[in-house]
Amino acid sequence: MSSPLHHRTRRGLSLIELLMFISIVSVALAALLRVFVQTTTTSSDPLLQRQALAIAESLMEEVQLMPFTFCDSEDAEVETATSTAGCSGMPEAIGPEAGENRSTLPAFDHVNDYHGLALAGISDLTGNTVPGLAGYSASVSVAAAALHTLGAGSGDVLQISVTVTGPGGSQVTLQGYRSRHAPNASL
């Protein structure tokens, strides 16, 4: 008589089952890799997006730190004027005064002066191009705005929009406000 151990059959994978398993896993893996490749090629590079955001934040801070007075900084009444009528001939208006620009004298001296600024390639305040940022461009818009209880007609609130476009078409737009609380509060 034979023992029960001899009657057990051994179970395993046949060559056909193994080939089928490999084929199915290969197809699934190829599909998964295709999704990864498509996702990475269609998404914008996060480094480019972060760099555009850093440029926009820096430019926004530069604009918001400028004085916001009724008169141009060279007007004799800049520190005492309570309206544009109080200026001695140089009331501040949207846009730079003749000859003013961001990087050479006479330089921008007021929040309003940045309206219409367009940079092709990012430069510092001295006009030197920042290495590695030649593929970026920036533009600034400044306009009268309403904010809470201050109406747009009061002239006491400005909305600042900074748009930075980077390589590959990545774009960041920031909006901020600058308000005038008293004639000399922003000096």
CB 74, CB 122: distance < 8 Å? no
As a whole number, mean pLDDT of residues 116-128 equals: 90
User: 133: which 2 tokens?
Assistant: 């940022």
pLDDT digits (tens, 9 = 90+) for 15-66: 888 899 999 999 999 999 998 887 776 665 688 888 999 999 999 999 999 9
As a whole number, mean pLDDT of residues 151-174 equals: 87
How much is the pLDDT for 187? 38
The structural domains of the chain, with segments of one domain joined by +, span: 15-42, 46-179
As a whole number of angstroms, the distance between CA 32 and CA 18 comes to 21
Q: Where are the beta strands (DSSP E) in 93-154?
A: 118-120, 137-144
Q: Which residue has the tokens 């440029």?
A: 55
CB 80, CB 69: distance < 8 Å? no
Q: Are strands 118-120 and 157-165 parallel, antiparallel or unpaired?
A: unpaired
pLDDT digits (tens, 9 = 90+) for 56-96: 999 999 999 998 888 888 888 888 888 888 888 888 888 88
Q: What are residue 60's DSSP bridge partners?
A: none
As a whole number, mean pLDDT of residues 163-186 equals: 81
Q: How far is CA 124 from the centre of its chain?
A: 16
Q: Is 51 exposed, middle or buried (0-12, 13-18, 19+ CB in 10 A)?
A: buried
**7-11, 46-50, 106-110, 177-181: range with lowest mean pLDDT:** 7-11
How much is the pLDDT for 4? 55
Element (H, E) at 24: helix 15-42
Mean pLDDT of the chain: 84
As a whole number of angstroms, the distance between CA 29 and CA 40 comes to 17
pTM of the model: 0.71
